[in-house]
Amino acid sequence: MAVVHVALGVVLDTGSGRRRALVAHRSADQHQGGLLEFPGGKVDAGETAREGLCRELREEVGLSVDPGAPEFLMRVEHDYGDRRVRLEVFTITRYTGHPASREGQTLGWRELEGLEPGEFPAANRVILQALQQPDFILITGTEPPVSDLPPGALRDWLSGWAGSDCVLRAPGRSATDYRRDFECLNGAAGDADVRVLVHGGPEVLEQCPEAVGLHLPWAVAARHSARPVSGAHRLGVSCHDEVALRHAEQLGADYAFLSPVRPTRTHSGQPAIGWDRFHAMAESVSLPVYGLGGLGPDDLEQVRARGGCGVAGIRFWWDTKGEFS
């Protein structure tokens, strides 16, 4: 069966302070008719995906986009049974013109957080999942334990990270101590508009059911053959190579860490992946991938240019004040 090569553009409007995306309704006579879609279309012979996308946006919705403006988001392959598609997906924040239907479809701006997977064709749902990920995932340091921090320290450290997630990583802590750490972190995170995930196996989530999700270390993830938590909770997996990333994808993870991108002090004996390999691995899976290891907020654009969706780390926020290093 031939594969249909399609380029899609997630045209974003962030000027109002809200993240809105341009979406269209597929006509009833189209494949997957009646569902929402992001603008784009088939890539013609001799075109790059970016060139095809810019042409489709001009022809379909009247927007002029420079071929260098689209930022790669992800690649998705999907088999619908009657056809297979390979989607190359880009985000676009720089364009000229005003969106207008050129092919009779209904166009409109929708807030990203309000879009539901069931409104889109199956191949598009992982795209929506990637778009709704936070830019940053914070990871707690192991020293000092969270519950030993002075009052107000966590609130100070979390200040400015609204909209981010935070993973409570505390290896070696007893169940009682971990629960106490979680209560301290979750209280401070709620005030800062940061969501907390726990780290370990499913039993840790059972111990801290208020958490928004569970992050699996690779050693734990490798023992599972199916998603170990319900879809009501976020699921992340720590990965270091292609095999681990594919396993995370098979588990139905919502995101993966891929590390270490650069050399780190905490894992000095582990060779860095480097940007080229990170790029190749991130684009090999239909899964939001976070760069981890020697990265900080200034690396967000570079991570996204190489197929990742965001940055994860400890030192760029945990060591901000320096008192407890």
Instruction: Output the domain CATH number for residue 66.
Output: 3.90.79.10
Q: What are phi and psi of 195, to 5 degrees?
A: -95, 145
What is the C-alpha separation between 9 and 14, in angstroms, rounded?
15
Which residue range forms the structural domain that includes residue 267? Answer: 136-318
Q: Which residues of the chain have pLDDT under 50?
A: 320-325
Tokens 């784009």 -> residue: 40
Same domain (yes/no): 159, 90: no
**The pLDDT of residue 101:** 84
Strand pairing report for 40-42 and 3-13: antiparallel
Q: What are phi and psi of 261, to 5 degrees?
A: -70, -40
CATH number at residue 143: 3.20.20.70
8's CB contacts (< 8 A; 6+ apart) are 37, 38, 39, 40, 53, 87, 88, 89, 90, 124, 127
Same domain (yes/no): 56, 204: no
Tokens 């780390």 -> residue: 313
Domain stops at, among 108, 131, 154: 131
Same domain (yes/no): 54, 74: yes
What is the C-alpha separation between 130 and 111, in angstroms, rounded?
14
**The pLDDT of residue 237:** 98
Same domain (yes/no): 155, 276: yes
Same domain (yes/no): 93, 152: no
Domain stops at, among 116, 131, 146: 131
Is there a domain that residue 323 lies in? Answer: no
Same domain (yes/no): 49, 172: no
Is there a domain that residue 324 lies in? Answer: no
**The pLDDT of residue 320:** 44
Is there a domain that residue 145 lies in? Answer: yes
Split into its structural domains, the chain has a count of 2
Closest among 198, 190, 181 to 161, alpha carbons compared: 190
Same domain (yes/no): 94, 143: no
76 - beta bridge partners?
87
Domain stops at, among 131, 165, 190: 131
Helical spans, DSSP H, in the chain:
49-61, 125-131, 153-158, 175-192, 202-207, 218-221, 242-251, 275-282, 300-305, 315-318
pLDDT tens for 60-69 read 999 999 988 9
Same domain (yes/no): 110, 163: no
Same domain (yes/no): 200, 87: no
Same domain (yes/no): 66, 126: yes
Same domain (yes/no): 248, 194: yes
Is the Cβ–Cβ distance between 58 and 64 less than 8 Å? yes
Same domain (yes/no): 176, 313: yes
**The pLDDT of residue 106:** 85
